[in-house]
Amino acid sequence: MMDQEVLSVFAKRLFDGEQWLTNQQVIWKGQMIESVKSAAMPLNGEMEIFDVLAPGFIDVHVNGGGGALFNHTPTIETLARMVAVHAQFGTVAMMPTLISDDYEIMSQAHHAVCQALEQTMAGILGMHYEGPYLNPIRKGVHNESKLRKPTEGKLATLLEVSRSGKLMVTLAPEQVPEGFIEWLVSQGVIVCIGHSAASYDQARRAVESGARGFTHLFNAMTPLVSREPGVVGAALQTDKPTWCGLIADGHHVHPASMRVAVAAKGCEHMLLVTDAIQSVGSEAKEMPFLGKKVLRSEGKVTTEDGTLAGSDLDMATAVRNTINLIGRTSTEALQMASLRPAEFLGIDQEFGRIKAGYRASIVALNTDFFVTATWIDGQKVWG
């Protein structure tokens, strides 16, 4: 076996996942970081020098990129395309997301992800089924004809991803039978509540049954109002460890609502997600989307009737928006993009920090938090 190459880079400022350090040299061998240490500014040509290094971003909700939508072409080639495109924006690991679809498409997507995991494709952690067990009342852009209740015996075969990777399922708790959430959790599934018309009590029971995520907080769920806290009210509770996905694009959620939610829940249980479709990394202004036409304009993507159809957001922009729109610190924003998703997925012993023994999955940024380079498992894939 060939010796693995030892690589090193220098950061004027380094965020290690917990604290900021200055003038740091990061050394890795193969996929893993060997050391992080203080060092003098290197001479020109000795090693690459970056303004900022931070743990690479983890996106648990991403539907496509670079002109490819996972639902349209649920193949390993699409997964590779998504990883390559989103690496430009600092994403080092993702949960490719399949929007509610027919069993045949779900099966093809499942096969593609299992194939990627078997090949240990860098950047693919598992998959996220967003549906089809959703409430038509809160369907959003999902095709109502694809929504259904979990009565089919075929479901178990789609859960094999959880044997070798991470598996998320977004569902409406009021649409599934009693005991279903507990069963999914027993199969290694991370259950998230979304596209739901559940009451506060129904959502709380789902959490007590093992659900621990809320998909795109505020969107496609019952709101928090005076006498019925709804799904949003359940999401913002802090007595049980749950996490909320936040699409910080300024279109899905008003900045004031985001500020209130983060203040209530705490940054440590907020995840920045993109919900990106194929527009990210593409120049197209119009594109097909699940049998409809989607229009891209001013940072958002909508159907012709104005319904939001996923997003045109990338993770680096989400980080900048968290700082500039929500008023959180760079520490909090970077953690919401890396360490918090890693904790949510249970992979924070590998991802979310730049420390010895962690994966060399790192993003380099300029002082305005635009991406200048990305490494996934020690390999430079952008910049």
Catalytic residue annotation: 275
Q: What is the DSSP string of 259-301?
A: HHHHHHH-GGGEEE---B-TTTT---SEEEETTEEEEEETTEE
- Write out the H or E segment, with its range, that includes residue 185: helix 180-186
Angle at 271 between CA 366 and CA 321, to 5 degrees: 40
User: Which regions of the chain does DSSP assign to beta strands (E)?
Assistant: 6-15, 20-29, 32-38, 48-55, 57-62, 64-65, 68-69, 91-99, 126-130, 166-171, 190-193, 213-214, 243-246, 270-272, 286-289, 292-297, 300-303, 362-365, 371-376, 379-382
The sheet carrying 300-303 orders its strands as: 286-289, 292-297, 300-303
Considering only the C-alpha atoms of the chain, give the largest distance between any 2 of them, rounded to a whole number of Å: 65
